[in-house]
Amino acid sequence: MTRLLNRSEVADLVDVPALVPLLEEAFRAHSAGELIHGQRFFSRLPGPGSSMILAPGIAPGVPAYSVKVHSKFPASPPGIKGVLLLNDLQDGRLLAILDSTYLTAVRTGLSAAIATHRLARSAAGRVAVVGAGVQGEFQLRYLATLRELESVRVFDARPQQTQRYVERLGAELAVPVQGSEDIAGAVADADIVLMATWASEPILYLDMLRPGCHVTTLGADQPHEAEVDAALIRQGLFVCDDRELAVRQGAVGGVNLGPEAIDAELGEIIAGRHPGRTGADEISVYGAVGLAFQDVVVAWQVYDSALRNDVGQDLAFLA
């Protein structure tokens, strides 16, 4: 039987604190070359959308693999939508079909929060959020579970979106959240900058940041996208989730830099193979593309919990 799990069921079953060590171990294994390198296939669609397939998702201790098929339609919320297929690793049986919208938001936001927490200064608590969409919310929400935050300033090109973000996250988090009229104002006093926009060219520059600032950029996950400028990547400590993808379709390639601009992968820092930040005034940048093993870590936790709690519907898929 194949278990069907919709978005609300996935959301109810996710256990974020339990996912942190599982994702960290998966990042370590990925950078150590212990996993099959997940393939990422991207294509433009006629009109305003694009499609992506991530396969196979393999992670330590998970007896399944995943294939995710999703699309991006920025003007049609939610901008990212699709399904994830979870298959038995021994015989290929289709164990589950899960909505990937919420699952992708969780794994992307939590992985980014883990990287931010590891790379930012220990006392960093003033946060700027650029892009008040789903990932702008999830990054901040999960970062607040990992460290104490002092204040938040948020900017979005859509003022109404900024205001909704301030109201929603201000009510949810025990932290002052304020809107900003421009990016420069949002980041001027920030210790941490969280970015998740649809930008196709840089909107954050080195001279906009204080010494010691950390930047996490998630927007550049397809070819010809960029949020941060080349000088910021070159002069800062630049960490990615995957070297090859960072150049091929991530923050590095988006500003025409090569692999020499990359200092480390997140998994190398988690494993202690790279020291990460080494000075209080050092600027650090984490640029993520998103990897298939992140999907299977979350999907397996959700599927296992669904079986134990009898959540979802079963379908005789091959009947």
Q: Which of 121, 289, 239, 279 shows the shortest CA–CA distance to 190?
A: 121
| Same structural domain, 248 and 226 | yes
How far is it, in rounded angstroms, from Cα 35 to Cα 241?
14
Torsion angle in degrees (nearest 10) through CA of 116, 118, 119, 123: 90
- The partner residues of 80 in beta bridges, in order of sequence, read 72
| Same structural domain, 168 and 275 | yes
| Same structural domain, 166 and 56 | no
| Same structural domain, 300 and 276 | no
3-state DSSP assignment of residue 318: coil
The series of mean pLDDT values per 10 residues for the chain, 319 residues long, is: 97 98 98 93 88 93 96 85 96 97 97 98 98 96 98 97 96 96 97 96 97 97 93 97 96 97 98 97 97 98 98 91
Is 110 inside any structural domain? no
Is 111 inside any structural domain? no
Contact 99, 6 (CB under 8 A): yes
| Same structural domain, 137 and 181 | yes
pLDDT on residue 51: 86
Side-chain-side CA neighbours of 299 within 13 Å: the count stands at 34
pLDDT on residue 75: 82
pLDDT on residue 166: 97
How far is it, in rounded angstroms, from Cα 109 to Cα 98?
18
| pLDDT tens sequence across 256-302 | 999 999 999 999 999 999 999 999 999 999 999 999 999 999 999 99
DSSP E strands: which ranges in the chain? Answer: 2-5, 39-44, 50-57, 64-72, 80-88, 94-99, 126-130, 151-155, 177-179, 192-195, 214-217, 237-240, 264-265, 284-287, 313-315
| Same structural domain, 177 and 247 | yes
Is 114 inside any structural domain? no
Is 73 inside any structural domain? yes
Is 87 inside any structural domain? yes
User: What does the DSSP 8-state code read for residue 302?
Assistant: H
Q: Supply the CATH number for residue 12's domain.
A: 3.30.1780.10
Q: Across the beta sheet with 94-99, what order do the strands follow?
A: 39-44, 50-57, 64-72, 80-88, 94-99, 2-5, 313-315
How far is it, in rounded angstroms, from Cα 245 to Cα 243?
6
DSSP secondary structure string, 95-132? Answer: EEEEEHHHHHHHHHHHHHHHHHHHHS-TT--EEEEE--
| Same structural domain, 86 and 135 | no
| Same structural domain, 22 and 58 | yes
| Same structural domain, 14 and 38 | yes
Is 228 inside any structural domain? yes
| Same structural domain, 92 and 158 | no
∠ CA(284), CA(290), CA(296), 5° rounding?
Answer: 130
**Residue-number span of the structural domain to which 221 is assigned:** 121-287
How far is it, in rounded angstroms, from Cα 235 to Cα 53?
33
Is 84 inside any structural domain? yes
pLDDT on residue 207: 96
pLDDT on residue 222: 86
Q: Supply the CATH number for residue 168's domain.
A: 3.40.50.720
Burial (CB count <10 Å: 0-12, 13-18, 19+), residue 25: middle
pLDDT on residue 209: 98
Instruction: Count the domains in the chain.
Output: 2
What lies within 8 Å, CB to CB, of 77 at 6+ separation is none
| Same structural domain, 230 and 174 | yes
Q: Which of 56, 86, 23 shows the shortest CA–CA distance to 292?
A: 56
Is 208 inside any structural domain? yes
How many C-beta neighbours within 10 Å does residue 300 have? 22
| Same structural domain, 88 and 10 | yes
Q: Which of 319, 306, 297 shows the shortest CA–CA distance to 22?
A: 297
pLDDT on residue 2: 98
